[in-house]
Structure 1
């Protein structure tokens, strides 16, 4: 039982990390109706910026405090992500207002490849470390109940707390602020939103900036855990089936979907992998998403689309 709980908890914590990436997908789709294939590349780009700025800031300023250096590096990386958001709206999305959904989808795919290449040009292609002081030592819980206890990674607990705080903040933002309501109006109908005076360009800059902030947080946590490398953008694609599970328009659904996916794939890999030959973690998420598409296409918390004729 102790081993099962350890596997389950490890899967849940991994699912929370997936959820941090999925939040970016949900945020942009909820606010603009655009399925952003570039979110994984944004996570990688933000992580590269944070890793390199955290190296360069002490050299530029002579700071000895790691905390201050990391804070300045985070601020610089966030400013860079806001600048990227502004350029995306100015050069791409602003030119494609009221275009077909497939046009916007392909534009985000182009943005993804550009960010991958530009990030390598700007920051280099080595594997970099991000050290923000997150605890690395494992904890052993329930030692009185199970022999040896249940191994828990403190870094995963911090990631879970950050993800929960982001979800709560974004849910309140969409529900109770004028900007949040404007974002939802733009997602429903671009033309109607413009006709009542909602500034579409400013709204898109805001939502991509917030998505850039979410990508930065996800990139810092993933980079601290695994190192910053170009496989991060591929790893972030695990968030695609996750948003199908939770619902493309649901911020809490991103978390619930991540927990289901993380726990499911970890348990399947550990307990079914030896019997089926392993490799379950590679395809489990996509098969689960396919099942949901057949049974409940809108996801667990997605909004049902009703067409009246």
Structure 2
């Protein structure tokens, strides 16, 4: 039982990180109808900015306190992501309003390669480390209940708590603030929202800015765990099954979908992997997403679309 709980907790912590990346896709799609394939590149760019400024600030200013340098680096990276969101909306998406979904998808693909190239030009292509002070040593929980306790990685636990806190903050933002209600109104019906005076362009900038902050937090966590390298952009591919499972228009779906996939990956690898030679964790999420596409393409919480002809 202790081993099962240990595996289950590991899956929940991984799933929360998947949910964090998937949340960026859902926020942008709900507000603008754009499937933002550039979300992975935004995670990479944000992580690169965080890592490089964390190195440069002490050298430029002589600050002796690493925590202060990291905080300044996070603030600068956040400003950069806000500026990037504004430029993307101003220079690209504003001119593509009411275009076909394929056109918007191709636009975000172009933005993806531009962001990756810009990141390499500005920050270099080496592998960088983000050290935000998260402990990497394991800890044993419930030792009084189970013999030997449950082994949990402190870094994974703290990362999951940070991701959960951001998800809760975003949920409160959408439910309790006037801007959040405007975002939900735009998501439900663009024309109706515009008819009551909600400015679509400003809403889209806000959504892309929020997605940029989500990308920064995700990049900071994944960069701390895996190092900041250009393969980090593929983290978006790990989030695709999550949004297929939860629904492309549902914030709760992104959270629950991430948890289901995280737990499913860990449990299937541990309990089924030995019988098939292992490697289930690599493809489990995509097979599950394929099953949902065949039998419930709108996902668990997505809206079913009925076209009348």
Please give the range of the TM-score, normalised by the shorter of the 2 chains: over 0.9
> Equivalent residue for 1:303?
303
Q: Does 1:222 align with 2:222?
A: yes
Give the structure 2 partner of residue 294 of structure 1.
Answer: 294
Map of 1:11 onto structure 2: 11
Partner of 1:245: 245
Cα distance in 2 between the residues matched to 1:147 and 1:52: 44
- The residue aligned with 1:186 is 186
After TM superposition, the structure 1 = structure 2 runs for residues 211-290 of structure 1, keeping only pairs within 5 Å, are 211-290=211-290
- TM-score, normalised on structure 2? 0.94
Secondary structure of the equivalent of 1:152? strand
Partner of 1:34: 34
C-alpha displacement of 1:39? 0.7
- What is the alpha-carbon distance in structure 2 between the residues aligned to residue 152 and residue 92 of structure 1? 44
1:204 aligned residue: 204
Measured against aligned partners, the alpha-carbon deviations of 1:123-142 in whole angstroms (never above 9, x if no partner) come to 11111111111122211112
Give structure 1 stretches of 5+ with no counterpart.
Answer: none
CA distance in 2, matches of 1:181, 1:145: 45
Structure 1 pair 186–103 and aligned structure 2 pair: CA distance change class (3 A): farther
Instruction: Quote the Cα distance in structure 1 between the aligned partners of 2:92 and 2:231.
Output: 26
SS of match in other structure, 2:272: helix
Q: Is the 8 A contact 1:46 1:219 kept in 2?
A: yes
Contact 1:246–1:302 (Cα < 8 Å) also in 2: yes
In structure 1, how many angstroms separate the alpha carbons of the residues matched to 2:133 and 2:187?
38
Contact persistence 2:14–2:160 (CA under 8 A) = no
Query: Offset at 1:159?
Result: 1.8
**1:56-76: per-residue Cα shift (whole Å, max 9, x none)?**
011111101111101100000
- Structure 2 CA distance for aligned equivalents of residues 181 and 198 of structure 1: 10
- Contact 1:32 1:183 (8 Å CA) reproduced: no
How much is the aligned-residue C-alpha RMSD, in angstroms? 1.7
* SS of aligned partner of 2:133: coil
**Does the 8 Å contact 1:54/1:70 carry over to 2?**
yes
Task: Point out where structure 2 has 5 or more consecutive residues left out of the alignment.
Answer: none
State which drifts further: 102-111 or 214-223: 102-111
Matches within 5 A, 1:19-30: 19-30=19-30
For structure 1, which segment, 235-244 or 157-166, has the greater mean C-alpha deviation from structure 2 after superposition?
157-166
Number of matched pairs: 309
1:107 aligns with 2:97: no
Which stretch has the larger CA shift, 245-254 or 255-264? Answer: 245-254
Distance 1:116 1:275 in 2: 40
Residue 48 of structure 1 and its aligned partner are, at CA, apart by 0.5
1:308 positional shift: 5.8
* 43-52 vs 1-10, which moves further: 1-10
Cα contact 1:175–1:181 (8 A) shared by 2: yes
- Looking at structure 2, the residues matched to 124 and 87 of structure 1 have their Cα atoms a distance apart, in angstroms, of 22
Contact 1:36 1:108 in 2 (8 A): yes
**So what's the TM-score if we normalise by structure 1?**
0.94
Moved over 4 A (4+): 306-309
Secondary structure of residue in 2 paired with 1:213: helix
**Alpha-carbon distance between aligned partners in 1 of 2:173 and 2:298, rounded to the nearest angstrom:** 23
Partners in 2 of 1:273 and 1:121 — Cα distance?
A: 42
In 2, distance between residues paired with 1:14 and 1:221?
A: 11
